[in-house]
Amino acid sequence: MIELRDVSKIYQIGDERVHALDHANLHVYPKEFVSIIGPSGSGKSTLMNIIGCLDVADGGQYLLDGMPIEAYSENELANVRNRKIGFVFQSFNLIAKLSAEENVELPLIYQGVKRAERQQRVREALERVGLSKRAKHLPTELSGGQQQRVAVARALVTKPSLILADEPTGNLDSKTSREIMQMFQELHEQGNTIVLITHDNDVARQAKRIVHILDGRLTEVTL
Amino acid sequence: MMAVKMALRSIGANKMRAALTMLGIIIGVMALVVLVSLVDSATNSITSEVSSLGSSLLTVRVSDDKGVPIKLQDLEAWVDTEPSIAAMAPYATSTATGKFGTESADFNVYGVTQDEYKIQSMQLTMGRFIAASDVKNNNRVCVIPEGTAEDLIGYKDCLGREISLNGIKYTVIGVLEDEEESLATILSGGMKTAYIPYTALMRLSTDNGSSISTFYIGASEGYTLDQAEEVMKNLLMERFNQDEDAFSISSQNMIEEAMGRISNFLNILLGGIAAISLIVGGIGIMNIMLVTVTERTREIGIRKAIGASRRTILVQFLIEAVVLCMLGCALGIFVSWGILQIISAITVSASISFRLNGRVVVLSVLFCFLIGVVFGLYPANKAAKMKPIDALHYGG
């Protein structure tokens, strides 16, 4: 599914070279629910960007569904993001002037899916996250939890190989956080592969497998 | 279609800004459409007026008579001997003060021969036109238009009445149908018109001698104007020792051609100035699109993260710029139409109808489209080139 082999990413900050990722190795199997935990500055975001094909590594190899990503052009990466990865961000990242259903529809438009099928799949995805009644609302008219549900629906609608969640509960209160995490559990049970990145131990512990990241190095944590 | 809807919504989200941005394009389009339409309408009406003067008419001007000035008898002789020349009319005019009873008015007095009636398309409502015998005997008779009769004498039916021009009395022998209020009559500033025998005019004024410096020629039926021109040219060359600079022959066609050239030149000049203002408007669009791209960096990041390719983003912002331009263009054309309607209403008496010129409308639509693409390309490319992570983390 996901295979990172000796992946490195180096940033040049002033005269200093920072190893955001230092020969990181990770293997995620299909239908796994993995959480990656680490404090801020540990290289979490860099890892997430590379797994999410938002950025490419400076060294090492990254295989997604067996395909080496580093060889891809920018447009091919966009296509991979579109079809294989569903993102859920800490700050929801919905487009403010599009309604909930339009936000969910967007990745399907980029895939070139026909209108009728789009509408059908958007309806299903919103139903899945329990927001059918709010389909026409703008993000600003929704609560934080509802916005995150829309984001989850947008991630689900393309039936991606991997759902990549970056601190999905970071901006939510504890009750809403529990609801969202519950939803991830259900998605996992339905056979989705989920990688969840967080700094919160309680959140991380809900995954079946935890990987710890510190100073750009990954270590397995056994429960 | 989807993309156009999306663009309209983005533009609608910031109406004030969009309106101000479009103002540049609106003014540019207005300048282009209104100016070119005005020139075109004016040219059309002048051209049609020139051609209504008679299309089978040559104007001959003698600038140097070489001591052998052309007399009325010469014209008569030429008409008699040359089959291609149907009529010749000397052109002589003078101004005079006309009086009837206590009424008085300023007159343009035309000295004419019997042929004038044939050459110019005049219509009598009563009486007769000046005859060959009037010219020969230098009779004190005149023909006046209905309007002149009403203004000076007080009624139309004035045959036999005598009006005085510069103190000499002339009997009215004919009344002409009023000319339509044409550009020429507006330019003449309300002067009255009277036609008197050519020979009588030479007596009336001192600045018209017995030599003719300008006259009109009409071609006979069955002969073209070019043939008549050729014959006339040979006659004059013979008379003026083969010096072709001594005279000039011009036809209405040449005047029309000259008008066409002038209006083309004006159109290119004015169109060019308007095009510059459109380009300035395009720079405004580019400016605002750059601001928009920066403001929406985060949105671009999100779109890229969920799979929008460079091309998709480029097209989205390009369409937005083009839609902005086309909206401005449509508004500009609409406003131009309104302005031309108003101008037409104001100048309704001038018999020129100012119409929206279809060609310039099509041209401005194409030009606006081009401006949208050209000036939208740089901002759209800037948006498309953004890296998804940089865009996502912009401003938190």
**ipTM of the complex, rounded to two decimals:** 0.92
Model pLDDT, residue B234:
84
Would you call A75 and B308 a contact, using CB atoms and an 8 Å cutoff? no
Q: Which of B252, B284, B317 is the last residue of a domain?
A: B252
Q: What are the phi and psi torsion angles at B380 (to 5°)?
A: -65, -40
A chain contacts of residue B387, beta-carbon cutoff 8 Å: 55
Contacts with B, A 107-126, CB within 8 Å: 107, 109-111
Number of domains in chain A: 1
CA distances A86 to A49, A158, A166, B302, Å, are 13, 8, 11, 12
B194 and B105 in a common domain: yes
- CB-based contact (8 Å) between A51 and chain B? no
Share of chain B above pLDDT 90, in %: 25
Q: Measured between CA atoms, how close is B354 to chain A, in angstroms?
A: 45
B chain contacts of residue A52, beta-carbon cutoff 8 Å: 305
Would you call A110 and B2 a contact, using CB atoms and an 8 Å cutoff? no
Match 């030009």 to its residue by tokens: B367
B182 and B99 in a common domain: yes
B chain contacts of residue A113, beta-carbon cutoff 8 Å: none
Is A114 a domain residue? yes
- Count H helices and E strands in chain A, helices first: 7, 10
Would you call B298 and A93 a contact, using CB atoms and an 8 Å cutoff? yes
Given a cut of 60, is residue B276 above it in pLDDT?
A: yes
What integer is the mean pLDDT of B44-50? 74
- CB-based contact (8 Å) between B9 and chain A? yes
Model pLDDT, residue A121:
95
Lowest mean pLDDT among A198-207, B16-25, B89-98, B333-342: B89-98
What is the pLDDT of chain A when averaged over all its residues?
A: 90
Whole domain around residue A115: which residue ranges? 29-58+71-221
Lowest mean pLDDT among A111-125, B316-330, B347-361: B347-361
Provide the CB-side half-sphere exposure for B196 (13 A, CA). Answer: 31
Would you call A81 and B306 a contact, using CB atoms and an 8 Å cutoff? yes
Q: Which of B252, B269, B303 is the last residue of a domain?
A: B252
User: How many residues are given for chain A?
Assistant: 223
Number of domains in chain B: 2
Would you call A111 and B307 a contact, using CB atoms and an 8 Å cutoff? yes
The pTM assigned to this predicted structure is 0.70
Q: What is the C-alpha to C-alpha distance for residues A40 and A45, in angstroms, rounded to an integer?
A: 9
Which of A54, A107, A158 is facing B389, going by the closest CB pair? A54
B201 and B306 in a common domain: no
What integer is the mean pLDDT of B352-358? 80
B244 and B261 in a common domain: no
Chain A residue at shortest CA distance from B385: A74
CATH code of the domain containing A35 = 3.40.50.300
B63 and B147 in a common domain: yes
Q: What is the C-alpha to C-alpha distance for residues B208 and B198, in angstroms, rounded to an integer?
A: 10
Going by their DSSP bridges, the two strands B141-145 and B168-176 should be labelled as: parallel
- CB-based contact (8 Å) between A145 and chain B? no
Please list, in sequence order, all residues whose beta carbon lies within 8 angstroms of the beta carbon of residue B272, skipping any fewer than 6 positions away. Answer: none
Would you call A94 and B302 a contact, using CB atoms and an 8 Å cutoff? yes
B chain contacts of residue A94, beta-carbon cutoff 8 Å: 302
Match 């559990």 to its residue by tokens: A185
Whole domain around residue B305: which residue ranges? 2-50+257-392
B242 and B330 in a common domain: no
Given a cut of 90, is residue B319 above it in pLDDT?
A: yes
B246 and B267 in a common domain: no
- State the pLDDT confidence band at B185, using cuts at 50, 70 and 90: low
Model pLDDT, residue B313:
93
Model pLDDT, residue A197:
92
Lowest mean pLDDT among A31-35, B49-53, B354-358: B49-53
Is A22 a domain residue? no
Would you call B311 and A95 a contact, using CB atoms and an 8 Å cutoff? no
Model pLDDT, residue B331:
95
Chain B residue at shortest CA distance from A111: B307
B chain contacts of residue A154, beta-carbon cutoff 8 Å: 306
Model pLDDT, residue B184:
54
- CB-based contact (8 Å) between B5 and chain A? no
Query: Could you give the angle at the alpha carbon of A83 between the alpha carbons of A81 and A84, nearest 5°?
Result: 70
Q: What is the C-alpha to C-alpha distance for residues B191 and B181, in angstroms, rounded to an integer?
A: 12
Given a cut of 70, is residue A73 above it in pLDDT?
A: yes
Which of A78, A83, A87 is facing B308, going by the closest CB pair? A78
- State the pLDDT confidence band at B396, using cuts at 50, 70 and 90: very low
Which of A55, A81, A94 is facing B307, going by the closest CB pair? A81
Provide the token pair at B97.
């003060």
B224 and B79 in a common domain: yes
B247 and B181 in a common domain: yes
Which strands, in side-by-side order, build the sheet including B57-62? B85-90, B214-219, B57-62, B247-251
Q: What is the pLDDT of residues B76-128, one digit of tens each?
A: 788 888 888 877 788 788 888 888 888 888 888 888 888 777 677 677 888 88
Lowest mean pLDDT among A163-172, B252-261, B319-328, B381-390: B252-261
| Amino acid of residue B155 | Y
B268 and B241 in a common domain: no
Q: What is the DSSP letter of B207?
A: S
B326 and B312 in a common domain: yes
The b-or-e profile of A164-196 (16+ CB within 10 A means b, else e) is bbbbbbebbeeebbeebbebbeebbeeebbbbb
Q: Are B170 and B142 in contact (CB under 8 A)?
A: yes
Which of B9, B309, B311 is facing A97, going by the closest CB pair? B9
B59 and B21 in a common domain: no
A chain contacts of residue B388, beta-carbon cutoff 8 Å: 54-55, 81
Chain A residue at shortest CA distance from B396: A91
Given a cut of 60, is residue B392 above it in pLDDT?
A: yes
Q: Measured between CA atoms, how close is A202 to chain B, in angstroms?
A: 25
